[in-house]
């Protein structure tokens, strides 16, 4: 069993400054009717069977706390992108079914979002009972944060609890609008996310290493700039590495490259140098002939990417170099895979770094999205201190941006 330098309790205590928002424990919720915004945007197959229920499981502590306090619990969430239309393939009925199993009690689903059926079910709820509204994105006003819709959400309950970190960076009716009409606090999942991510940024145990992957430098400019104020080492992987290579004057073949960001890539490297931060780029790369799972591939130095080939993964020398650096880390934040992990032959870099980290004695935080999926796929999730439930939200949080869904909650 891995002994972490910080236990979860210590992290939460250390992160108190980062979480100055009230939680369900800070207000009187006993016997109240409570509307809870969850993130039940789960993947499912063509037979509408849920393939990964982690987001539902993550919401259970808050829901169970409300049940224990005799609340009448009204849950809401989005699923997919129905774009303001009622589409059966985006119905939350599959979530209600899964929740009923996990909670060991029936979770009724309304036939609409804030209409007649939702109102009727909410009015008839007894203490300790749970219901689920239909997909909030069936309503055209949801993503526009329309006041009329926010008021209708508020009319269902006496208290609003936001526990959907994955949508906290969106100002929608069910995440921020409703908070203008009801006492609004966070659930345990948002509290946990802010404590882990907040402590990593505000009060990290050092050395503090950040690993950034993904396609584009432009997607991560804010994050890189923000992390360069905080980390000791910044490691770059994924397709965005090729923009840095080209900015240094090397050919990148057919690799993804943002030609309009070459000056920016140079500036970021210069900024790191000026601040004395170790800025690590791959020293070799695995290239393929075409974008296909079974394409011909080979490892080459980063200075020798041949014409007609495309970079899809970090190479063995880079894996070795990054692994050595990570062995001394005490805090690690990782956002974005280091290669095209969907194809097995280009998942090696991501998997090997995940395996290295699994055995490092440090606080290890995965910033949601594809990097979380990669760690799950590698079967190593339980070896990490925290895996964020919100890719986009955690990215904006790391960037230092204010998240509307968090800002709308009451301060302690």
Q: Are 362 and 351 in contact (CB under 8 A)?
A: no
Q: 0.75 cut: is pTM over it?
A: yes
Task: Say whether pLDDT at 52 is over 90.
Answer: no
**239 or 392: whose pLDDT is higher?**
239
Give me the CATH topology for the region 21-189: Rossmann fold (3.40.50)
Task: Say whether pLDDT at 9 is over 80.
Answer: no
Residue of 107, 80, 102 whose CA lies nearest to 91: 80
CA angle 84, 90, 95 (to 5 degrees): 125
Task: Say whether pLDDT at 410 is over 60.
Answer: yes
34-38, 183-187, 333-337: least confident range: 333-337
- Per-residue three-class SS string for 242-308: HHHHHHCCCCCCCCCCCHHHHHHHHHHHHHHHHHCCEEECCCEEEEECCCCCCCCEEEEECCCCCCC
Task: Say whether pLDDT at 340 is over 50.
Answer: yes
The mean pLDDT of the chain is 91
Strand order in the sheet with 107-109: 107-109, 130-132, 72-76, 33-37, 159-162, 184-186
> Residue 186: what are its φ and ψ, rounded to 5°?
-95, 160
- Positions marked catalytic: 55, 216, 369, 392
For the chain, percent of residues with pLDDT exceeding 70: 95
State the angle between helix axes of 188-202 and 54-68 in degrees (0 to 180), rounded to the nearest 10. 120
pLDDT in tens, 101-140: 999 999 999 999 999 999 999 999 999 999 999 999 999 9
Distances (CA, A) of 111 to 82, 99, 127, 389: 16, 17, 21, 27
Q: Are 350 and 323 in contact (CB under 8 A)?
A: no
pLDDT at 217: 83
**383 or 395: whose pLDDT is higher?**
383
173-177, 213-217, 288-292, 366-370: least confident range: 366-370
Distances (CA, A) of 171 to 97, 186, 340, 397: 28, 15, 32, 15
Residue span(s) of the chain under CATH 3.40.50.1260 come to 21-189, 198-398
Strand order in the sheet with 297-301: 297-301, 284-288, 310-314
pLDDT at 19: 65
pLDDT in tens, 236-295: 999 999 999 999 999 999 999 999 999 999 999 999 999 999 999 999 999 999 999 999
pLDDT category of residue 5 using cuts at 50, 70 and 90 = very low
The per-type count for the chain, helices as H runs and strands as E runs, is: 14, 15
Domain 198-398: top CATH class: alpha beta
pLDDT at 10: 38
Q: Is 130 in a helix, a strand, or coil?
A: strand
């Amino acid at each position: 069993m891995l002994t972490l330098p910080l236990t979860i309790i210590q992290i939460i205590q250390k992160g108190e400054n980062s979480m100055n928002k009230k939680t369900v424990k800070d207000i009187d919720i006993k016997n109240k009717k409570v509307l809870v915004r969850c993130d039940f945007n789960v993947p499912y197959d063509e037979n509408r069977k849920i393939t990964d229920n982690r987001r539902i499981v993550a919401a259970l502590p808050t829901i169970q706390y409300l049940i224990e306090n005799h609340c009448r619990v009204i849950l809401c969430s989005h699923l997919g992108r129905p774009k303001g239309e009622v589409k059966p393939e985006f119905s939350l009925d599959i979530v209600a079914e899964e929740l009923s199993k996990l909670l060991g009690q029936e979770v009724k689903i309304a036939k609409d979002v804030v209409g007649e059926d939702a109102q009727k079910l909410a009015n008839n709820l007894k203490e300790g009972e749970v219901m689920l509204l239909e997909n909030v994105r069936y309503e055209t006003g949801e993503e526009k944060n329309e006041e009329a819709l926010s008021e209708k959400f508020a009319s269902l309950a006496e208290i609003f609890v936001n526990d959907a970190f994955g949508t906290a960076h969106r100002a929608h009716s069910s995440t921020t609008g409703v908070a203008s009409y009801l006492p609004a606090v966070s659930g345990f999942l948002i509290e946990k996310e802010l404590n882990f991510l907040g402590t990593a940024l505000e009060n990290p145990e050092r050395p503090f290493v950040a690993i950034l992957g993904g396609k584009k430098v432009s997607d991560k400019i804010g994050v890189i700039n923000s992390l360069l104020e905080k980390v000791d080492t910044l490691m770059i992987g994924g397709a965005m590495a090729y923009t840095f290579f080209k900015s240094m004057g090397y050919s990148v073949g057919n690799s993804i490259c943002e030609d309009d960001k070459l000056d920016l890539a140079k500036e970021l490297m210069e900024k790191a140098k000026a601040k004395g931060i170790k800025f690590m780029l791959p020293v070799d790369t695995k290239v393929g002939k075409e974008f296909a799972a079974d394409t011909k591939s080979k490892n080459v130095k980063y200075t020798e990417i041949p014409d007609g080939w495309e970079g899809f993964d970090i190479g063995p020398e880079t894996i070795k170099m990054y692994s050595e650096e990570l062995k001394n880390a005490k805090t690690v934040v990782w956002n974005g895979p280091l290669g095209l992990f969907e194809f097995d032959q280009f998942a090696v870099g991501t998997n090997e770094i995940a395996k290295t980290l699994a055995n490092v004695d440090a606080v290890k935080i995965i910033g949601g999205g594809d990097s979380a999926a990669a760690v799950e796929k590698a079967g190593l999730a339980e070896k990490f201190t925290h895996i964020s439930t919100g890719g986009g939200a955690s990215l904006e949080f790391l960037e230092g941006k204010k998240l509307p869904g968090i800002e709308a909650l009451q301060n302690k």
